[in-house]
Structure 1
Amino acid sequence: MSSVNTAIQLITREQAENGAARGSTCSPALAKGPWDYDLAEALAGIPAYGPGASSADVAPAATPRQGQLPEEYKRATDAELARRITAAKATLGDRAVILGHFYQRDEVIQYADFVGDSFQLANAALTKPEAEAIIFCGVHFMAETADILSTPEQAVILPNLAAGCSMADMADADSVAECWEQLEEIFGTEPDADGRVPVIPVTYMNSSAALKAFCGEHGGIVCTSSNAKTVLEWAFERGQRVLFFPDQHLGRNTAKALGVPLEQMPMWNPRKDLGGNAEQQLLDSRVILWHGFCSVHKRFSVAQIEQARAEHPGVQVIVHPECPMEVVDAADSAGSTDFIKKAIAAATEPITFAIGTEINMVNRLAAEYPQHTIFCLDPVICPCSTMYRIHPGYLAWVLEELVAGRVVNRITVADAVQANARTALERMLAARP
């Protein structure tokens, strides 16, 4: 099976030559090199997420931008980049470890020493204490977490600084602090008769180090899509209600599964006073959901599930819990990327699976398990915009810079932020599902 990038190139070429193509993408710009987006942003003076699922999301002014990749890496053929990456890896040996997220393009994943979700990869880095450099082929918040959990001597490198996360950017430290102040005015700060404080902050792993630190400082915790249920139970033992950010869908789907009524889950819009809620709504709440979402998983719909069932009788539909509640309810099951992978691996008889998560992972699962029929619920090829900013050219560049004794694109989290963020992460580690 061809890679997602190969499919995008083919579709774009067919559209240009014939005005039509077998299949479609959400943007023809996906066929360009990511360095084209770097240059466009530099010229415009405005950051953006690039083509793909998050192209319509507005990037904050402080979003990191990538400087210009040297021309030799832009012009290099796939074969030349492969040769250079392989040679640099061999030269560096155990001095460098490459981590690749499930959503990365195949052309990058093939060089990864470890492949997994954000938390699995952060933990994988801990198994390589001898590595001087951790090259994280993922997005910015993941590299921050790796820096928090790794040793001070290790350098965490993000091959393209523009590989951020639009969901993570939907909740910033100032907005959350302002929300917290308003909630304290309503709820006070005193615990109830059972010793539970008025509200516990819970941040999804897909958030900045600053928000993880906020949770650590205010008695809160970090969660992953794998242990969100356990984390909410942990929070309810300690608090009367939860402030959950930045992903509303993971929060809603998890709380609903725990029996929390929808009317007790108001949404907090940071652009409105009291988040757009009446004071009584907040007093009656169990989970306050932040107005954030993943643009990849927002693309999946009930109509897509209905079409999959009509075209493939007996299909098993598995979606990620970042999908909207209606989609999760209509699916056969929902779970983290690791859950999806394990569910397919556990199937002993040939099955047709329709998967609601990022296309690179779905495509890779289809290639890895050819005994099954595996396809993405969304028929339009639309990868994660920011994951797609990392290209073998950037990987070759950072590796060859390391060979030359230079560290580029290092991600560092300030010591003051690290301490509280690590506290929240350690609480998460203890909350095993």
Structure 2
Amino acid sequence: MTTPDGLQRGLGTADAVVIGLGSMVGAGIFAALAPAAAAAGSGLLIGLAVAAVVAYCNATSSARLAACYPESGGTYIYGRERLGEFWGYAAGWSFVVGKTASCAAMALTVGLYVWPQWAHAVAVAAVVALTAVNYAGIQKSALLTRIIVASVLAVLAAVVVIIAGSGTADASRLSLGGDVSAGGVLQAAGLLFFAFAGYARIATLGEEIRDPVRTIPRAIPIALGIALVVYAVVAVTVLAVLGGPGLATAPAPLADAVAAAGAPHWQPVVRAGAAVAALGSLLTLILGVSRTTLAMARDHHLPHGLAAVHPRFNVPHRAEVVVGIVVATLAAVVDLRGAIGFSSFAVLLYYAIANAAAWTLGHRVIPMAGLTGCVVLAFALPPASVITGLAATAVGAAIYAARSRT
């Protein structure tokens, strides 16, 4: 089935779940564990639990809204319809800006695992290649994501089995020490939220999913639940062998963990798995940013030419190309940890608006908890991330005000 604008409804529940998993598994396990451990110390698992609770509230709110508004754009659409045009614009701006930074972080993660000396060059090449895949159609993107997710889950299972069978894991490393603080735990939760936000990709593809009113509310909690189990098992395993301080300073935590477990010959496999996971996350991130760009371009918040849909491939091809160019440029110069913090702030603002929109639907306990959690975690992030995020938000508001006057 093709929508009036030319997008094709070709994704089922399994496809939607896989796309959500492709975003979450790649981002969290391989990119966010080390900076989160540096913030929380031995309280890393508490930070993970806090991030999971906030993510659950956000996912519940997003699923309810998606059933009411099964369109491309996610919270940009929900905020516009439930709260007013400015709040929809603020959500869309936060998503596009924040997830563009996420794309750059994931591209650089690929480079750091594949060829550290040329990480930025590899990152740019990865962006170009995956933009070409997305340009060729949503079904090709979904097929590649299935292959990537299966490969990554196999590698993560191997890591857990190797460490568990090595005898080097020590449960005492999981206990809380004197380095735990409320601020550190909240900062870690904010950084780890970067990992959980992948289920938004399901909602932003609303016009390319079959029977979206039923499929999206099913797919979001399934994807989030699977990702949470994977995160918890891997985080406990790696923490048990490296400890909080070791994990915080590990440049490649999972590869270092298998080496510490006496299996250094597995390091190339783990590095390859990390690169593949980051590629999967990058693939679906570019999908999500381009679809939100499409929705904002339809309403002239971005150049209207970006709303064009390719007559053969049924994708927003101009938005795909522009997003690819911007991400490739950032990937050439960006710092990984700074990109994660900035992205987390912007995406937490995005979900705060989603929860506020869901609050207007009734059943307000979960949306209020999600809204509060998003605001707390956003301002618990490192000061540089908060300042940069506020500056980007102010730029977006200024653009909106200037456009309104004209």
TM-score tier after normalising by the smaller chain length: under 0.3
Q: Which of structures 1 and 2 has the bigger CA Rg? A: 1
Higher helix share: 2
Higher strand share: 1
- Tell me: higher relative CO, structure 1 or 2? Use CA pairs within 8 A at least 6 residues apart: 2
